[in-house]
Structure 1
């Protein structure tokens, strides 16, 4: 079958030796002007991709169907074919005509746009890819997280006007093993070609030393790691302030620093919302719902991050709150993204909204609000 007629082949109802394998998706792909078949093995927690020449692909398919997969769905420009094999080895085949007129897209990168080049040296140095630039399977989730983060950052940079900046400073608080810190350096300095200084701030000295050593080995300029935390770091003209998974009020200190230093972009992924929860007084109508601890925790989280977003709005930022892929494989995957407005607007209505929310829930104080008033 030619690549122009095949759209994809999906094998399902797997009964082989790998318990987490769910299905296999096969489609044509053009690699260096030569037809290959892309096999995407879809596991419960990750996907693995391999490309085969047609002869190799056919040989592998003969082994897999009906040996390990008991169902298949073939989509072509002419028809859709469904095949299933019962426990008694009875084969059922259903063929329907298709009205597709477009040829299959065989471009190598069609499945998903990547915002980081997989061949970049920092990925190998951090153990995301091997020496040949191939993704290490155990790092699939981290690879997705890096790309998603840079995708969000790219959009924010376009909105902020930083593309015209002659020089900028990026600070990453709680940088950890610095996957995203190095990714930001690569994005600003390599992809955009900007004169960017990247600072990673991390409380654990062993990680600071490790990351500085990695930067030295890669011979990267303008990236440096310091020991410290967001509460005590002195802001020095930060344009992009990042603080992911800062615990409880550390997120408030990070946002306050971003506002104080006039950062054009503020990116936070809050964690451990403890401050507001004990202050909340349950309105009578909500008491039956919030008497459950899990619901009260969710409500406190929503109120806390809503107040943070509104305070950012009141101080000249356009703010979005949305779900982001978790960097630590946890449910705490919310992101607050703020980009500085070019023009000042009247913030009186927003301040009234903040006051009304605090009054409704009986909240006496909120850390970010107190920091901004200081």
Structure 2
């Protein structure tokens, strides 16, 4: 039994659409001349995309003042388009690499098909997963040695969160590096990583500097657990990684010397302050710290009268103490010549320890700016009744502020 004559153009149009999808020749599909119930909808554009490895059509609904995007699996998308062409849109335009195909509906809804070759060569739409740019490649040998990838260099599923953390950290370092004085030189980059743990980030930093940047690097991971030091040092020697070493110790026991990049992730209690102090006094161009603990500040805090109704709750007091602790750390870094940011390192869906302090050394801090920052620090301490902040004490006792330039 043949299809009724008035459905043949529509059937042929969607058969051509299906063929272009299968052959990878589809550029786009546009539905126009909208006459449905949405007053400001103008047209619908569909293009092929891959989402999680599966083919979809991405619909963009163009309104007068906004665009709305919705993605549908191919079979679902084809059914939706079939229901929209005619009843809601009076014109469907299929653009492939070789031809233009138009499905036109009369006022009475009668379809007509028009086909003609393209006037100029046209490229097909490139279907793709919207995968974030990665600063590391899964094929790097250290990832296999540390168990992030398997023997075929495929990501171990249980390590997917760690893989995202590693890449995010290297992304942050890459932007900081470009904005620092280190980007202009060619000398070996000296990196100190306190609390190296299993060495994921330490290896990643060494690989980024030597492989991606092409810079010689001297990277030292410092860790309190002897078994972790032996594990990481063994992996570094097995891979013959020049300039990467691991040492047993902590922020208070290791002599640093000049350092270009100082890293300290989740150093507990005031160990974060000691690490920041070591970075400042070592003249680090970049300081990366995931701060930990507000144990020193919380007992000192006196709730100002206005805030007492909020801070009577323990969870709010803890959050406030964390904010005050890290805000003072950031201001103290700025007062010592660093451009400082405090931000979410990686989504809470991947880790609960997600705050990062990034400080990049800037030359020539004006004296007036330094004094204004010190005044802000004093005002915050006075407001909350804080007598001492560990980083401030360390900086005042052991290292004079950098020479300021005239205002």
Instruction: Summarize deviations over 1:72-113 as a string: whole Å, max 9, x none.
Output: 95278xx78559xxxxxxxx97777689989533357x5211
Superposed CA deviations along residues 88-143 of structure 1, whole A, max 9, x for unmatched, are xxxx97777689989533357x5211110111001111111111111111111111
Q: Quick check: 2:51–2:128 contact (8 Å CA) kept in 1?
A: no
Question: Are the aligned partners of 2:188 and 2:217 in contact in 1 as well (CA < 8 Å)?
Answer: yes
TM-score (norm 2): 0.70
Aligned to 2:132: 112
Distance 2:141 2:131 in 1: 23
TM-score (norm 1): 0.76
CA contact (8 A) 1:73 1:81 kept: no
Corresponding residue to 1:247 among 255, 262, 268: 268
Alpha-carbon distance, 1:325 to partner: 1.9
Provide Cα deviations, 1:240-281, integer angstroms capped at 9, x if missing partner. Answer: 000011112111001000000000000000122211000000
How far 1:212 sits from its partner (Å)? 0.3
Number of matched pairs = 309
Residue pair 1:82, 1:93 contacting (<8 A) in 2 also:
yes
Distance, in Å, in 2 between the alignment partners of 1:252 and 1:193 is 32
Partner of 2:381, secondary structure, is helix
Pick which of 148-157 and 97-106 moved more: 97-106
CA 1:364–1:4 in structure 2 vs 1: closer, same or farther (change >3 Å)?
farther
1:174 and 2:174 correspond: no
Counterparts in 2 of 1:175-214, with a 5 A limit?
A: 175-214=196-235
DSSP 3-state at the match of 2:179:
helix
Establish whether residue 344 from structure 1 lines up as the match of residue 365 from structure 2. Answer: yes
What is the CA RMSD across the aligned residues, in angstroms?
2.9
Residues 1:106 and 1:330: Cα distance change in structure 2 (over 3 Å): closer
What is the DSSP-based 3-state SS (H/G/I as helix, E as strand, rest coil) of the residue aligned with 1:200?
A: strand
How many angstroms apart in 2 are the aligned matches of 1:308 and 1:363?
14
Unaligned runs of 5+ in 1: 8-26, 30-37, 41-50, 58-71, 84-91
| Counterpart in the other structure of 1:359 | 382
> Which runs of no fewer than 5 residues in structure 2 stay unpaired?
1-17, 29-46, 57-69, 96-122, 398-407
Q: 1:251 to 1:290 in 2, by over 3 A?
A: same
Matched residues in 1 for 2:94 and 2:264: separation?
Answer: 47
